[in-house]
Structure 1
């Protein structure tokens, strides 16, 4: 039986990738698309309902909304799902701490899956990094660089923040206290209790993230490169299948699916 999905933010780059993959996945049925650009030719050519809000659709019971939009649009969507019987997979990045906390609260009543990076490779990396931090020890300085296309709105990326949080927790730190997101001028020697997160923007880079362990006489670099947006879209649609039929009560994420 196919799982009905609704793509929220369907006219965007990621939205179009999700639509195309959903249309060719026998395990999914495209039940509708949502975007403020309802007159977009990309959407009107589809053989499914098009709307500016999820509430304007009449989706079948058990449908899962897949959302890659902007923080404000994501929060509006999440707030609107209470009592609808719909679930949501959220891949939006750039949510504030307050928005993240609100999403967790909403997830008590609405099945919601949220991951700032839907890549299987990145999420496996998040599982192995803490062991490297512990085994290498405090003589190794920790740094992160991330590169994305020149149209990405938020910085640093949600994935870079997630990686930084993973490293910081392994050291018993917090990103808010030990994170360094900008260096300029005569800053002096690098503090030992510091975690640098640097942002690069340009071209059409889908997403590169490198974690550095810089030690005495050597360094280790671990890089993840996304070659296509399909990497994230496939992960999100896999999450939609997994989330279908799940009960609310917690904010689900990639480790839950694994």
Structure 2
């Protein structure tokens, strides 16, 4: 494969991330957008991708996902919805195509399918493709080691009004990183809402607070609060382009990997 001519397919090109991925690929010198798919019944079928992204005509038209052909693509980037995940993953496995997956809100069964697929193809799955967020994940592990036995831990996140899953995939990844470091089961210790009069906070719980408002791109804070001091580790995204560029970087990195499931920590060398 010639890396400077890597053919990328974006699945769900009309979504918020799909549109930004189109822009990110236009700016990348090592890969180019070969295919952009939308639902078969989408009104965007046949429309130039530049109209979607607002960047002018690009010479690539949106195509129905059912028309995707193996010879047209080297690597797939999938930022669709959980409802489309099963078919998209099955296509990548059947056609032996590496895939970068940014779909969040997956079920436990879909996560199992992800691990099974990784035995047959290389794939990157991450809740967030920002380099900064993945550095944050490394930092919260260090903080948990130093403060987790005494501090109360809360995770605060905010996104735009249209985001459907809550807490966000990134917030859950932060919580999981902390729980794993402390030897806790996140499913047992997570608290997702508080209301009314409750008993005092149990120390080993990890709390989540969610905001959905306006056009917030994404903000995440891991709070370690003890008596007399607190540590806050925060990441704020001002543009989705940072996520899209990270996903394209992951696609380039993945193109030469062996079968397996990778994360952004592998891509950027933090694993």
Same fold (TM > 0.5): yes
- Please say which of residues 13-22 and 122-131 is displaced more in the overlay: 122-131
In the other structure, the counterpart of 2:33 is: 30
User: 2:9·2:73 contact (CA, 8 Å) conserved in 1?
Assistant: no
Count of matched residue pairs: 256
In the alignment, the residues of structure 2 paired with residue 195 and residue 151 of structure 1 have an alpha-carbon distance, to the nearest angstrom, of 25
Q: CA deviation at 1:213?
A: 0.6
Structure 1 residue runs of 5 or longer lacking an equivalent are none
Q: CA deviation at 1:48?
A: 2.4
In the other structure, the counterpart of 2:95 is: 84
**What's the TM-score once normalised by structure 2's chain length?**
0.89
In the other structure, the counterpart of 1:184 is: 195
Q: Report matched runs for 1:101-250 at 5 Å.
A: 101-248=112-259, 250=260
Structure 2 residue runs of 5 or longer lacking an equivalent are 52-56
1:47 corresponds to which of 30, 43, 59: 59
In the other structure, the counterpart of 1:13 is: 16
SS at match of 2:104: coil
SS at match of 2:233: strand
SS at match of 2:59: coil
Q: CA deviation at 1:251?
A: 1.1
In the alignment, the residues of structure 2 paired with residue 85 and residue 133 of structure 1 have an alpha-carbon distance, to the nearest angstrom, of 39
**Offset from partner CA, 1:124-182 (integer Å, 9 cap, x none):** 11112222112124221000010000000100000000000111112211110000001
